[in-house]
């Protein structure tokens, strides 16, 4: 039986911060048809790192609810190479939006974090209770600290000011609108492009970073957006909620699966000069399941539809 939402979205004015990004765009797609008004981003783009810009913008548009999908994001190399950007930009963006939302009386806010907030050696699958129980992974500690601060700020506004603001922690995401740039992307779009290029050029192999043994959990961004809209409508508590699929895969096997989907039948060369990062980060999705939500997109289907999307983007295929 469908759950009656505790925060129905019909008639609400919603601003999705980061609506041009992969996650924000998917949330906007998911919200269409729910009877809410989605506030489009101002053009030229406002700089969410500047408090005055954020205040002026939110005072002008006065949303009822906000989803914060805006963040400085990237894969293992970008995280490791630009610690200031990942720490400072994210602290600024989230603090500006959350604080201003409170000051102008925004009713409801959903903040998004990431599975890298958890300790590097957390027990698997990782429950929400594992937060702050151990050392972080070094390559993305800067991003993780910013996201942990965001969770705590949301909790602090709930405790000190009674604000109905919540946080969700998605696992590694992929899908249409992803970043396919080798220097800044996550692994899945990188492997799609590498397999495609290798097939197109008739190469015998493609390069996979690290040892190939780390395990990652991958969720299609449309599944994630569905879960986020579900939480926005139904969840109201201080603790963050994991958003995952419950399954993970070794990077070497992922490379095999991507090769199969793309139709590349060459081999894989491991580049051990590149970092592995966290050995494993599989989220426990039990809490979300108890609330009444389960994922729908199988990994191979999701990779297939993302590859189709990639093939329709000449500007991405033409990247050097
Ligand atoms: O997706 P990814 O960049 O980030 O890398 P994380 C995942 C794993 O895939 C690592 C390996 O073990 C990489 O070494 N890998 C293999 C590759 N080939 C490639 C490749 O061509 N490109 C990339 N990028 N990786 C990020 C965090 O961690 O995940 C962020 O840095 C965030 O903070 C995000 O949490 C979701 O999964 O290691």
- What's the confidence (pLDDT) of residue 45? 73
Ligand 1, atom 22: closest residue by C-alpha = 187
pLDDT per residue rounded down to tens, the chain (320 residues): 566 899 999 999 999 999 999 999 999 999 999 999 999 987 677 999 999 999 999 999 999 999 999 999 999 999 999 999 999 999 999 999 999 999 999 999 999 999 999 999 999 999 999 999 999 999 999 999 999 999 999 999 999 999 999 999 999 999 999 999 999 999 999 999 999 999 999 999 999 999 999 999 999 999 999 999 999 999 999 999 999 999 999 999 999 999 999 999 999 999 999 999 999 999 999 999 999 999 999 999 999 999 999 999 988 877 75
Q: What is the pLDDT of residue 115?
A: 97
Q: Which pLDDT belongs to residue 1?
A: 56
Atom of ligand 1 nearest to the CA of 275: 14
Of ligand 1's listed atoms, the one at least distance from the Cα of 116 is 35
- Whether 125 lines ligand 1, by a CB cut-off of 6 Å, is no
- Predicted model pTM: 0.97
User: pLDDT value at position 320?
Assistant: 58
114 Cβ below 6 A of ligand 1:
yes
Q: What is the whole-number distance in angstroms between the Cα of residue 143 and the centre of ligand 1?
A: 13
Residue 143 annotated in active site: yes
**How far, in Å, from the CA of 163 to the mean position of ligand 1?**
35
Judge if the beta carbon of residue 208 lies within 6 A of ligand 1.
yes
Mutate-to-test residue for ligand 1 from 186, 193, 198, highest number of ligand atoms within 8 A of CB: 186
Question: Which residue is listed with tokens 């925004």?
Answer: 106
- For 105-140, where are the alpha helices, taking DSSP H only? none
Q: Which atom of ligand 1 is nearest to the CA of 210?
A: 14
Q: What is the C-alpha separation between 138 and 119, in angstroms, rounded?
A: 10
Tell how strand 13-17 and strand 164-170 pair up. unpaired
Q: Return all residues near 224 (Cβ < 8 A) that are at least 6 apart.
A: 23, 26, 170, 173, 243
CA distance 105 to 133: 34
Ligand 1: which residue has its CA nearest to atom 21? 190
Instruction: State the catalytic residue, choosing from 7, 82, 143, 307.
Output: 143
Cα of 100 to ligand 1 centre, how many Å?
Answer: 33
Is any ligand 1 atom within 6 A of the Cβ of residue 48? no
Question: How much distance in Å is there from the Cα of 75 to the middle of ligand 1?
Answer: 5
Establish whether residue 171 lines the binding site of ligand 1, counting it when its CB lies within 6 angstroms of any ligand atom.
Answer: no
140 CA distance to ligand 1 middle (Å): 10
Instruction: Calculate how far, in angstroms, residue 76's C-alpha sits from the geometric centre of ligand 1.
Output: 4
In sequence order, which residues have a C-beta less than 8 Å from that of residue 128 and are 6 or more positions away? 169, 239, 240, 241, 242, 284, 287
CB 27 within 8 A of CB 69: yes
Element (DSSP H or E) covering residue 271: strand 267-271
Does the CB atom of residue 277 touch ligand 1 within 6 A?
yes
Q: Is the CB of 190 under 6 A from ligand 1?
A: yes
The CB of 85 under 6 Å from ligand 1? The reply is no
pLDDT for the residue numbered 2: 62
């Amino acid at each position: 039986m469908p759950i009656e939402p505790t925060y129905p979205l019909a008639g609400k004015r919603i601003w999705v911060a980061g609506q041009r990004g992969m996650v924000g765009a998917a949330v906007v797609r998911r919200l269409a048809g729910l009877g809410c008004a989605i506030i489009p981003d101002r053009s030229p783009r406002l700089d969410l790192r500047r408090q005055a810009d954020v205040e002026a913008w939110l005072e002008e548009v006065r949303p009822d609810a906000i989803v914060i999908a805006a963040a400085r994001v990237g894969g293992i190399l970008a995280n490791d190479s630009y610690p200031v950007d990942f720490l400072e930009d994210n602290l600024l963006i989230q603090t500006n939006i959350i604080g201003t939302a409170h000051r102008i009386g925004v009713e409801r806010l959903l903040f998004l974090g990431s599975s890298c907030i958890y300790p590097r050696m957390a027990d698997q699958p990782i429950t929400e209770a594992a937060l702050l129980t151990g050392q972080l992974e070094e390559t993305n500690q800067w991003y993780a600290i910013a996201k942990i601060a965001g969770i705590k700020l949301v909790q602090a506004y709930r405790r000190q000011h009674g604000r109905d603001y919540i946080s969700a922690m998605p696992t590694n995401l992929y899908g249409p609108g992803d970043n396919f740039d080798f220097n800044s992307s996550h692994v899945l779009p990188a492997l799609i492009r590498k397999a495609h290029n290798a097939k197109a050029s008739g190469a015998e192999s493609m390069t996979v970073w690290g040892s190939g043994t780390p395990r990652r959990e991958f969720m299609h961004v449309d599944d994630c957006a569905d879960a986020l809209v579900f939480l926005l409508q139904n969840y109201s508590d201080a603790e963050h909620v994991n958003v995952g699929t419950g399954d993970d895969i070794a990077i070497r096997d992922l490379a095999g699966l991507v090769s199969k989907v793309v139709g590349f039948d060459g081999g894989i060369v491991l580049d051990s000069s590149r970092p592995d990062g966290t050995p494993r980060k599989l989220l426990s999705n039990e809490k979300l399941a108890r609330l009444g939500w389960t994922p729908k997109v199988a990994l191979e289907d999701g990779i297939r539809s993302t590859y189709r999307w990639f093939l329709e983007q000449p500007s991405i295929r033409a990247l050097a």
